[in-house]
């Protein structure tokens, strides 16, 4: 199971755990509890260890920092997994800083010249070999392109892929043991957690992918007054070298400087919330690493501050289904409709379909009602999601990676917003956005857009239908199609067919009414149609058509 390199690394890990007093945590686990008495026989326990008075979370954080950058990043990811960790450990791991000593500038020059296949002077007019910042995966240098444009150059650490692979293999071994011997292993799926971390960290090694993320986010917020994304210089970008426009701004965590500049903090905090919800619900493409080190503020006009984002290695996305259920969850929660929250979790598949709605509703009410004793401005969206996930855990909710990433980002945004403006009312800022988004999703024009989207697909598939039906009938006639149905299944099939026929009829009539309404709008008929003014008739037809279509739409879509 262990190769020589992994064995040496494991010995180093054990030494760090002992030095940080974590052997007592290991022996207190379910797996080692029967032999816990052996801990007192170990030589290092014969001497006093003063650091044992630190809380366990602090000792774990210090151990991860001792183990190096890969374990630091793993701890950062675990800090977002409140479904896996007790709160005291998760909060302590959130303090992990991804800062390591820089590697020499000469090595950066070698990497750059190898990537370009030519001396750095042919690409840059100037290049600073003293890094601006250094992290576990890469470091950043200032430069000036040919032509005079200022840039930042992100360079991957030399040999980082080999180091990551060694530690990832070791994490897989530990996760395998945990899944085999830990009673919570099957539900918390440690192997999948490590696999998720492996994908995330190896994605960060591909700087072309990060450049593509930045380019997409820049396109999404083109000409936006609230968020600026630096330009990617594609001709100079390689897999291990990323070149972007250099930006200047105030670090968002430097609240004292923002106040000194007279920045409108209320507007700035509200814009942070709008940026987040726009990314999640409008674009389904959100910056998932929005800690203060990656966010700056352009304060040239203090009354109209603008955010600047950097570091696009971690990006989150949501499916349309997840978007819909998430928005409904927020709205139902703040309307205190706990039954709807429970139903949404079941409908979305986040908890098993056999879950009793009334029991789940009662559990959600128990943890949610105390929240409403506080002013709305004190209610945390991120805390709400965390509460829901912890409650749903008792009902066998499986880990939803995309929602966990969203929760991490939302907690970052909330903490940032309230650091800038302690009186920020997150709900007041977000509610109009969510309600508008929901109207756009279920209104008549949303139905028309959906039909317009699917028409080309239906047109492509329609010519094949006769052949498909013919082939099916031919197989049935030749005895090649065996169908066995029990009486109960036949009855269910009949019910499904009847429902399908009704839906098809309603959908056909609804579509015809909406098309008629669209024609009335587009033709701009001035005279009344019968006793009805043309615009009013168009709206009535559209409403009737939308109602029929929404009634015909399958509930599981």
Catalytic residues: 289
What's the gap between Cα 49 and its chain centre? Answer: 41
What's the gap between Cα 348 and its chain centre? Answer: 17
Helix 426-442 × helix 265-277 angle, to 10°: 30
Burial of 493 per CB tally in 10 Å (0-12, 13-18, 19+): exposed
Count of C-beta atoms within a 10 Å radius of residue 401: 15
428 φ, ψ (degrees, to nearest 5): -60, -35
Helix ranges (H only) for 182-277 are 185-188, 190-204, 207-220, 255-260, 265-277
CB-based burial, 210-245: b 16+ in 10 Å, e otherwise: bbbbbbebbebbeebebbbbbebbeebbbebbbbbb
Q: Among 131, 425, 413, which residue's Cα sits nearest to residue 292?
A: 413
> Which residues, listed in sequence order, are joined to residue 529 by a DSSP beta bridge?
532
Longest CA–CA span in the chain (Å) reads: 99
Q: Among 273, 274, 251, which residue's Cα sits nearest to residue 263?
A: 251
Q: Are the beta carbons of 511 and 403 closer than 8 angstroms?
A: no
Residue 158 CA to residue 164 CA, distance in Å, equals 12
């Amino acid at each position: 199971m262990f190769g020589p390199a992994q064995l040496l690394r494991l010995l180093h890990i054990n030494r760090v755990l002992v030095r940080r007093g974590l052997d007592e945590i290991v022996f207190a686990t379910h797996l080692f509890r029967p032999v816990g008495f052996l801990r007192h026989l170990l030589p290092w326990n014969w001497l006093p260890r003063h650091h044992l008075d630190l809380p366990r979370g602090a000792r774990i954080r210090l151990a991860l920092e001792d183990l190096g950058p890969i374990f630091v990043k793993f701890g950062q990811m675990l800090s977002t997994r409140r479904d896996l960790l007790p709160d005291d450990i998760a909060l302590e791991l959130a303090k992990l800083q991804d800062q390591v000593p820089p590697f020499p500038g000469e090595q950066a020059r070698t990497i750059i010249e190898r990537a370009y296949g030519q001396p750095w002077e042919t690409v840059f007019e100037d290049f600073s070999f003293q890094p601006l910042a250094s992290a576990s995966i890469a470091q950043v240098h200032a430069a000036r392109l040919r032509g005079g444009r200022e840039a930042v150059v992100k360079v991957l650490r030399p040999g980082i892929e080999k180091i990551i692979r060694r530690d990832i293999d070791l994490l897989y071994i530990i996760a395998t043991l945990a899944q085999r011997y830990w009673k919570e292993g099957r539900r918390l799926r440690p192997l999948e957690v490590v696999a998720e971390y492996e994908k995330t960290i190896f994605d960060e090694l591909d700087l072309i992918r990060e450049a593509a993320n930045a380019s997409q986010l820049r396109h999404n917020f083109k000409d936006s007054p609230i968020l600026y994304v630096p330009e990617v210089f594609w001709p100079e970008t390689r897999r291990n070298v990323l070149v972007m426009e250099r930006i200047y701004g105030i670090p968002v965590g430097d609240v004292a400087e923002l106040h000194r500049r007279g920045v409108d903090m209320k507007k700035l905090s509200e814009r942070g919330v709008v940026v987040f919800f726009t990314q999640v619900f409008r674009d389904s493409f959100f910056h998932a690493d929005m800690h203060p080190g990656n966010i700056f503020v352009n304060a040239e006009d203090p009354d109209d501050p603008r955010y600047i984002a950097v570091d696009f290695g971690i990006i989150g996305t949501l499916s349309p289904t997840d978007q819909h259920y998430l928005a409904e969850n927020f709205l139902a929660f703040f309307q205190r409709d706990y039954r709807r929250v429970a139903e949404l979790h079941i409908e979305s598949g986040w908890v098993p379909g056999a879950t009793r709605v009334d029991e789940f509703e009662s559990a959600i009410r128990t943890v949610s009602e105390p929240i409403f004793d506080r002013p709305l401005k004190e209610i945390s969206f991120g805390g709400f999601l965390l509460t829901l996930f912890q409650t749903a855990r008792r009902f066998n909710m499986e880990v939803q990676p995309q929602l966990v990433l969203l929760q991490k980002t939302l907690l970052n945004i909330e903490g940032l917003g309230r650091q800038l403006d302690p009186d920020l009312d997150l709900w007041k800022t977000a509610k109009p956005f969510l309600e508008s988004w929901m109207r756009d999703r279920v209104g008549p024009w949303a139905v028309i857009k959906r039909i317009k989207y699917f028409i080309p697909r239906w047109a492509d598939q329609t010519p094949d239908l006769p052949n498909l039906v013919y082939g099916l009938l031919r197989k049935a006639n030749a005895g090649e199609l065996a169908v066995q149905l029990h009486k109960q299944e036949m009855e269910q099939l009949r019910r499904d067919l009847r429902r399908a026929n009704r839906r098809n009829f309603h959908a056909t009539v609804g579509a015809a009414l909406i098309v008629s309404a669209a024609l009335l709008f587009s033709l701009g008929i001035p005279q009344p149609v019968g006793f009805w003014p043309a615009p009013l008739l168009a709206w009535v037809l559209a409403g009737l058509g939308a109602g029929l279509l929404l009634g015909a739409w399958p509930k599981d879509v």
